[in-house]
């Protein structure tokens, strides 16, 4: 009996199912929201006619724009700012921004799965997303456009252009925040800062080597019990301090040793500097010279300490912007307070000229691609080409002409007009300037020229960036994509495992109570990595490095 009932229920169920399918089939077509694009598939290299299109700004242009980062949310900002308004009114350009919803991977996945990619995507190169877009012909090759329009191609070095070529020989991206060998104004965001007031009160002792640093931190701890001598031991900066152009990015994710002499990537355990660096970190922690909370605090807690002047020494990535904020807050209350940037520190006996932990990237930070969903890819390229030029960069950073500036100097740097001198901070903030989806090194050139125009008024971070920029020696591009590993491959699975091992042992090494414990944990660390395919990773990275060098002609 029961079986019979069930059978009938299933019949009923399938009827409902069928009904709902019919319903959906009806409503599916009629309900097509306005701002989505139907995708034209199978687009190959776009036709580029020799004829010049009307210049950017002469005809209306509209496109949708998406940044593939969790934190990225242009919408809200880029709708009522001065630049967007000007673009709309003066250049007839309008972009619809698509937010990542705080979860870029899933947002991207849904757009791919439903074949409704936005017209323009900004994303990291060397990622599976990027490569799949190329492989599945979802983005437009830009070679012909590069040839046709002047600005971007001029700014990008030829070897950089070669590096950007995908395996099929085409260039698909427009780089953002890329450098050039012609850029005289190299900037860097990584360095050391000291608390100005404390340093002066302690008589500005020599602070060049790690021994100096150790002595200074001891002194701070003794004289200022409430001050935290150093926020956290930045392993990258300490490691780089051992000279021989040790490249600090090699500590990222899973540390490896980049041996510039043998041109091979080796196990990090073959580099004595690695162990020395770890020992130093351990010592600083165990002696209370770095924050005892550095592994367990939130980023916010860390910046609060810096902003309230409770830190004597700090080094961190993007220290220029953290440092500027803290410096400005402290200086507003006490002109003698704040933070100063100092040269890179190094281990005793090391030639400081070989301390260059931070490299420069001509490839830049990310890339902007145009998808095959875009109706007018060439005109979109035209816009970004203009945006990368001195004019575009100037507008993005200092606003459209007529607000803060009317004229600019021979380097392209705007000259403040009378109005800008009387404007309040609030009024300036309401302009919401600074949104820059594609930065070129024209930005650096203009920034540096602005410093020269008025050195006293220059912003702390610009001066600091230019100062740190002098320590930059290594070209990062040769390491482009060395950690780009298919996460589904065996090496990819091992890589995920190794990343966790690194995190675990980084912490364990800091907490080791004495040398014996440290040595034993250090040995376990090496064994654990080796047991998880570390050598395969090294072979892979060496191979990629070699290929890159060949491409770049190094």
Partner 1 sequence: MKEHITLKADIRKARTPRSGYGLRGIMRQWDLQSMVLPGFICLILFSYIPMYGVIIAFKEFDIFQGIGASPWVGFYHFNLFFESPELNMVMRNTIIISTLKLVLIFPAPIMLALLLNEIRHNGFKRFIQTATYLPHFISWVIVSGLVFSLLSVESGSLNYLLEKLGIIDKPINWLSMPEYFYSILLSASMWKEIGFSSIVYLAAIAGINPSLYEAAEIDGAGRIRKMFSVTLPCIAPVVIIFLILSIGNLLSAGFEDILTLTNNGKNGTLTNVAEVLDTYVYRVGLSEQRYSFATAVGLFKSIINIVLLVAANTIAKRVGGNSLW
Partner 2 sequence: MVRNSWNDRIIDMIIYTLLAVLSFTAIYPFWNTLVMSLNEGKDTAMGGLTFWPREFTISNYEVIFNDERFFRAMGISIARTVFGTFLSVLITALMAFALAKKELKGKRFYMIAGIITMYFQGGLIPTYLWLREIGLFNNFWVLIIPGILSIWNMIVFRTFFQGLPDELEESAKLDGCNYYGLFFRIVLPVSGPVFATLSLFTAVGLWNEWFNAGIFINNADLLPVQNYLMNMINSSSTAEMLSQMGNGVNVVTQTITPKSLQMTAVMVVTLPIIMVYPFLQKYFVKGVMIGSLKE
CB 447 within 8 A of CB 462: yes
Is residue 135 a contact point for partner 1 (CB under 8 A)?
yes
Residue of 384, 388, 381, 406 whose CA lies nearest to 445 = 388
Q: Distance (Å, rounded) from C-alpha 194 to C-alpha 188?
A: 17
Is residue 360 a contact point for partner 1 (CB under 8 A)?
no
Which one, 27 or 49, has the nearer CB to partner 1? 27
Is residue 292 a contact point for partner 1 (CB under 8 A)?
yes
Residue of 301, 280, 300, 298 whose CA lies nearest to 289 = 280
The entry of partner 1, partner 2, none that residue 16 binds, CB within 5 to 8 Å by partner kind: partner 1
Structure-token pair, residue 203: 């008589």
Structure-token pair, residue 294: 């550095």
Q: Which of 41, 80, 94, 136 binds partner 1 (CB under 8 A)?
A: 136
CB of residue 195 vs partner 2: minimum separation in angstroms? 14
Residue of 189, 194, 216 whose CA lies nearest to 342 = 194
Is residue 290 a contact point for partner 2 (CB under 8 A)?
no
Q: Give the DSSP letter of residue 364.
A: -
Q: Which range, of 139-147, 183-191, 197-205, 206-214, touches partner 2 by CB under 8 A? A: 183-191
Q: Distance (Å, rounded) from C-alpha 15 to C-alpha 30?
A: 24
Residue of 403, 387, 441, 490 whose CA lies nearest to 61 = 387
Indicate the pairing of strand 414-416 with strand 405-408.
Answer: antiparallel
Applying CB under 8 A, what is the total number of residues that bind partner 2? 80
Q: Which range, of 165-173, 228-236, 300-308, 342-350, touches partner 2 by CB under 8 A? A: 300-308
Q: How many residues does the chain have?
A: 554
Which one, 153 or 428, has the nearer CB to partner 2? 428
In terms of Cβ atoms closer than 10 Å to its own Cβ (0-12, 13-18, 19+), residue 212 is middle
Among positions 363-422, residues that touch partner 1 (CB under 8 A) are none
The entry of partner 2, partner 1, none that residue 447 binds, CB within 5 to 8 Å by partner kind: partner 2
x/- letters, 301..340, toward partner 2 (CB under 8 A): x-xxx-xx---------xxxx--xx--xx--x--------
Q: Which helix (H) or strand (E) holds 122?
A: strand 120-123
Write the Ramachandran bin of 305: left for phi over 0, alpha for psi from -120 to 50, otherwise beta: alpha
Which one, 161 or 431, has the nearer CB to partner 2? 431
Q: First vs last Cα of the chain: how many Å apart?
A: 81
Which one, 262 or 296, has the nearer CB to partner 1? 296
Is residue 188 a contact point for partner 2 (CB under 8 A)?
yes
CB of residue 427 vs partner 1: minimum separation in angstroms? 33
Q: Which range, of 143-151, 271-279, 441-449, 508-516, touches partner 2 by CB under 8 A? A: 441-449
Is residue 225 a contact point for partner 2 (CB under 8 A)?
no
The alpha helices in 74-171, defined as continuous H runs, are: 82-91, 104-113, 128-135, 143-148, 151-155, 158-164
Q: Distance (Å, rounded) from C-alpha 414 to C-alpha 141?
A: 35
CB of residue 114 vs partner 2: minimum separation in angstroms? 6
Is residue 113 a contact point for partner 1 (CB under 8 A)?
yes
Q: Give the DSSP letter of residue 316.
A: E
Which one, 109 or 288, has the nearer CB to partner 2? 109
Q: Which range, of 161-169, 186-194, 260-268, 506-514, touches partner 2 by CB under 8 A? A: 186-194
Residues with Cβ within 8 Å of residue 478, at least 6 apart in sequence: 545, 548, 549, 552, 554
CB of residue 8 vs partner 2: minimum separation in angstroms? 9
Is residue 8 a contact point for partner 1 (CB under 8 A)?
yes
Indicate the pairing of strand 228-230 with strand 311-316.
Answer: parallel
CB 550 within 8 A of CB 480: no
Q: Which range, of 31-39, 477-485, 497-505, 529-537, touches partner 2 by CB under 8 A? A: 31-39
Among positions 501-540, residues that touch partner 1 (CB under 8 A) are 503-508, 511
Binding footprint of partner 1 on the chain (CB under 8 A): 1, 4-5, 8, 12-13, 16-17, 20, 105, 109, 112-113, 128, 132, 135-136, 138, 228, 291-293, 295-298, 300-301, 487-488, 492-493, 496-497, 500, 503-508, 511
């Amino acid at each position: 009996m029961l079986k019979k009932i069930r059978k009938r229920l299933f019949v009923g169920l399938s009827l409902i199912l069928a009904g709902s399918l019919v319903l959906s089939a009806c409503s599916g077509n009629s309900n097509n929201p306005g701002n989505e694009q139907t995708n034209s598939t199978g687009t190959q290299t776009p036709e580029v006619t020799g004829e010049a299109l009307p210049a950017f700004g002469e005809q209306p242009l509209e496109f949708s724009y998406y940044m593939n980062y969790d934190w990225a949310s242009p919408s809200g900002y880029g709708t009522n700012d001065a630049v967007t308004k000007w673009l709309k009114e003066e250049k007839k350009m309008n972009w619809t921004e698509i937010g990542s919803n705080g979860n870029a991977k899933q947002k991207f996945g849904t757009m791919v799965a439903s074949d409704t990619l936005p017209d323009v995507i900004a994303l990291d190169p060397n990622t599976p997303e990027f490569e799949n877009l190329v492989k599945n012909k979802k983005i437009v090759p830009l070679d012909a456009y590069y040839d046709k329009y002047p600005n971007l191609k001029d700014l990008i070095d030829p070897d950089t252009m070669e590096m950007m070529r995908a395996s099929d020989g085409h260039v698909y991206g427009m780089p953002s925040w890329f450098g050039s060998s012609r850029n005289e104004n190299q900037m860097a965001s990584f360095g050391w800062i000291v608390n100005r007031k404390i340093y002066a009160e302690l008589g500005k002792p020599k602070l060049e080597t790690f021994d100096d640093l150790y002595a200074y931190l001891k002194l701070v701890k003794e004289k200022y019990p409430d001050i935290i001598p150093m926020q956290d031991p930045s392993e990258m900066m300490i490691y780089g301090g051992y000279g021989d152009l040790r490249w600090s990015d090699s500590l990222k994710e899973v540390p490896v040793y980049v041996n510039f002499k043998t041109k091979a990537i080796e196990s990090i355990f073959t580099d004595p500097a690695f162990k020395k660096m770890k020992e130093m970190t351990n010592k600083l922690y165990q002696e209370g010279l770095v924050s005892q909370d550095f592994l367990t605090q939130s980023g916010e807690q860390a910046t609060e300490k810096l902003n309230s002047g409770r830190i004597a020494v700090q080094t961190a990535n993007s220290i220029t912007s953290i440092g500027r904020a803290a410096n400005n807050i402290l200086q507003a209350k006490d002109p003698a307070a704040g933070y100063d940037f100092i040269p890179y520190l190094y281990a005793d006996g090391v030639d400081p000229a070989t301390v260059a932990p931070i490299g420069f990237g001509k490839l830049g930070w990310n890339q902007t691609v145009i998808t095959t969903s875009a109706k007018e890819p060439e005109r979109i390229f035209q816009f970004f080409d203009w945006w990368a030029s001195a004019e575009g960069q100037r507008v993005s950073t200092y606003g459209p002409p007529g607000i803060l500036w009317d004229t600019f100097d021979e380097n392209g740097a705007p000259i403040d007009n009378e109005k800008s001198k009387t404007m309040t901070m609030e009024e300036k903030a309401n302009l919401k300037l600074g949104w820059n989806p594609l930065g070129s090194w024209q930005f650096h050139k203009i920034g540096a020229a602005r410093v020269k125009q008025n050195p006293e008024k220059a912003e702390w971070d610009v001066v600091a960036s230019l100062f740190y920029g002098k320590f930059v020696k290594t070209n990062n591009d040769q390491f482009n994509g060395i950690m780009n590993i298919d996460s589904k491959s065996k090496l990819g699975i091992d890589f995920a495992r190794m990343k966790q091992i690194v995190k675990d042992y980084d912490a364990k090494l800091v907490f080791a109570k004495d040398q014996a414990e440290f040595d034993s944990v250090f040995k376990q660390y090496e064994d654990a990595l080796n047991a998880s395919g570390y050598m395969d990773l090294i072979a892979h990275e060496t191979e990629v490095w070699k290929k890159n060098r060949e491409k770049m002609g190094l």
